[in-house]
Amino acid sequence: MSNLQKLEMEIERVRRHLHELVDKKLGNLIDQEVTAVSIQLDKLIVEYEKSKMQQLKG
């Protein structure tokens, strides 16, 4: 399994967790826990995009 595939799976896992958490917090997007998971997801997406660009460069 490639690094990109692993990142895709982790992004999807964290994304699902974020959606579940938002539901649990009744849509409170400024909840500290929701914000922390959102930041984690953002970092994974940035890492994915950087890895993708590295692959394209060769």
CATH of 3-57, one of 1.10.3470, 4.10.280, 3.30.429, 2.20.28: 4.10.280
Residue-wise pLDDT for 16-55, tens only, equals: 999 999 999 999 999 999 999 999 999 999 999 999 999 9
- Residue ranges covered by each domain of the chain: 3-57
Q: What separation in angstroms does the CA of 38 have from each of 14, 24, 31, 53?
A: 8, 15, 10, 23
Q: Which two tokens stand for residue 1?
A: 């399994």
Q: Would the pTM of this model clear 0.85, i.e. be above it?
A: yes
- Which tens digits make up the pLDDT trace of 40-51? 999 999 999 999
